[in-house]
Structure 1
C-alpha cells in the first residue's frame, strides 16, 4: 500500500481526508493522521490566530504528518503559508489552485503544495508551475465540482502529468482504492466518508441527514455562490432554487455581513476577493454576493446543526454509506479490503 503519495508526505497509507470547512477541525484531522492517513485541517474558514491555535491543537493530539487547506485567492495566502512553515506543517492544499507566484512562494518556503483540480488542462497548468501533487475530483464529489466523472477524469490526468495524482469523488472503501491505483493514481481522497465518522464533530442530527439519503439525494447548483456545487437536496436548497435573484442577493448581503463579523476579515479585503472572483471566475456582482452565503450556511449546518438554515455539501457517495466508524476503523477497513481485492485478483 505504499505509493508515491506516501513517500511524498510521509504517511503510512495512501488515503487523504479532505479539508472541509467547519468539518475538518483538529479532532478529525488528528484522528486521520494518527490512523496513518493524511488529515487536512480546514484553514480557509479560520482567522490567522484561530488557524495557528488549530494547528497546535492537532500537534497536541498526534506527531503524524498532516496538511492545511487554504484559499488560493485569499489576500493573505502567502502569510498563511509562512504560518504553516513556522508551525511545522508539511502540506498546503487548495480547493482551487492558487496563482503561479503563490505556488512558487510557498514551495520556496518549504511547503508541499497540493491543489485540487477538476479538469486535465488545470492539472497541466499547475504541474508546469511546480506543484508536488494534485487532487483530481470527478463530478461525483461534493462541494465545488466539475462535470467529468472520476472514472474518466483520473486516467486522463494521470496520462497528462508526471506527478502523484490523488483521486477524489465517489470513494468510500478498499475497492475504490484499488480502482484508483489501477488507473494510475497514487491514492484516494475522501470528504463525505470522513465527515460520516465518529471522530467528526458534525452534529448527530446532520449526520443523520446524510445517512438517510439515497444516491439521488444530491443536486449540483450555482445558486449558492455562482459556481457549480454539489449539496444535499434539502428543503432550504429547494427553496433557494425557486427563489428569485433579488431575494437571493439580499440574503447574500446579510450573509456577507455575518461572515465579516465571524471571520475578522476586513471589508476592503472582502471587496478585493469579490473583485478577484469576478475576474477569475467571470461572476457578476449578484453572484459575488451569493458567494457570501457559503461560509455562513456551512457554519449553520456543520457547527450549529441547523439543517433548516445551512447547506450540506455532499458527494453522491453519501447514498451508499450507512455507518459511522472511527477514522482508525475506516482506514484499516479500506486498507484490508484493498489488500483482499488485490489478493483475489492475483489469485
Structure 2
C-alpha cells in the first residue's frame, strides 16, 4: 500500500504511531519505524533536554525516519521546537494549537509538519499555513478528544483539503485501515494497539488493563472543563464523574487529574491512575513486537480487501 504519505515521509507503510505522552518513548518509536511505519516520540510537557536525549536514543535504535509529537500548550514548547530544529528531526505532529509560527523555520531544514485536527475548519486553516498533511482524529481515540467521530470527520476533511489526510481514532486492526482508506484517507495513525507492544515501556499493569477492557470501558471525563479525556473507567473516572455532577470548579477537576497519567504509566496504578486508551481497546487481546503488529495489519488488510471483492463478485 503506497500512498503520498509513504513518499512524503519516506516510509514503507502508511502507518503512523500515535504520540502518547509518557508512552511514546524512543524505544517504541524506533520499533515502529523499524517495522516499516513512522514511530513518534511524544514530547508532552517534558523539558527540552529530555526530548533531545530521546531523539539521540531513537537514532541509536533505528536508521529509519521517525518523528516527534509536540503539544503546543506545553510550557516548554519553544525550547522543544529548538531541539527539533537543532537535531533536524524529519517529521513532527502537533496537537492542542496552531504550529503556524514555527512552520517557516522548520521547513527550512526539511521537517514535515502534520497537525492533528478535530474539525474541517482547522484542517483548512492548517493547509493554508503550509503543512504537509493533517491527521483527522475522531473522538474514539484515547487521551484528549474532540466531538466528531472518525467516520464522519475523515471524509469531510478529505473533501475540504488537497493535502493528504491521515485517519485516527478507533483504528487498531486491518478492518479499520480498510475503512479509513474507503473514507479517503491516505494513511492511518494508531496509538492504543502499539501501546500493547513488547517494546512499549509502560507498566505491565497498564497493558493488561487495555487487554482486559470491554467495548464500553473507554469513557470520557472532564467535558465540563472544555478538555475532555478518554481513559479506561476505574475509581479515578468515578471521582471525576462525582466532581462534575457536583458542579465542581474547573480547577478542582483538573487538580484531581494531576500526575495521574504518570502514576498509571510508570507505577502501574490502574485503579486511581489515568489509563488513557481508545475505544479500540476492546479489540486488543495480546502483546507482541511492533513489527509483528505491523506485518499482521498489512497482511490482513489485503485479506479484507480480497474478501470485499469476493462479496461483490470481484468487481
Tell whether the 8 Å contact from 1:218 to 1:315 is kept in structure 2 after alignment: yes
Q: Which residue of 2 aligns with 1:29?
A: 29
- 1:219-242 CA-to-partner distances (Å, cap 9, x unmatched) read 112169641111111111102221
* Rounded Cα–Cα distance in structure 2 between residues aligned with 1:32 and 1:309: 30
Q: What residue number does 1:319 align with?
A: 282
Unmatched 5+ residue regions in structure 1? 249-285
Computed over aligned residues only, the root mean square deviation of the Cα atoms, in angstroms, reads 2.2
Cα contact 1:178–1:338 (8 A) shared by 2: yes
1:70-89 matches, within 5 Å, as: 70-89=70-89
Pick closer, same or farther for the CA change 1:292–1:28 going to 2, 3 Å: farther
SS of equivalent residue, structure 1 residue 148 = coil
TM-score scaled by structure 1?
0.83
Q: Normalising to structure 2: TM-score of the pair?
A: 0.91
* 1:338 pairs with 2:301: yes
Q: Deviations over 1:74-116 (max 9, x none)?
A: 3543442231232231111112232422333433443211110
Name the stretch that deviates more: 236-245 or 38-47: 236-245
Q: Secondary structure at the match of 2:259?
A: helix
Deviates most, 323-332 or 303-312: 303-312
Query: What number of residue pairs does the alignment pair up?
Result: 310
Shift of 1:139: 1.7
Question: Which ranges in structure 2 are unaligned for 5 or more consecutive residues?
Answer: none
Contact 1:223–1:240 (CA under 8 A) maintained in structure 2: no
**Which is bigger in relative contact order (C-alpha 8 A, separation at least 6)?**
1
- 1:59 maps to 59
Aligned partners of 2:120 and 2:160 also within 8 Å: yes
Distance 1:98 1:332 in 2: 34
- Offset, 1:199: 1.5
Aligned mates of 2:9, 2:274 — CA distance in 1: 32
1:339 deviation in Å?
1.5
Q: 1:237 to 1:63 in 2, by over 3 A?
A: same
Please give the alpha-carbon distance, in whole angstroms, between the structure 2 residues aligned to 1:304 and 1:225: 27
After TM superposition, the structure 1 = structure 2 runs for residues 120-135 of structure 1, keeping only pairs within 5 Å, are 120-135=120-135
Which residue matches 1:304? Answer: 267
Q: 1:109–1:331: structure 2 CA closer, same or farther, 3 Å change rule?
A: same
Change (3 A) 1:332 1:66: same
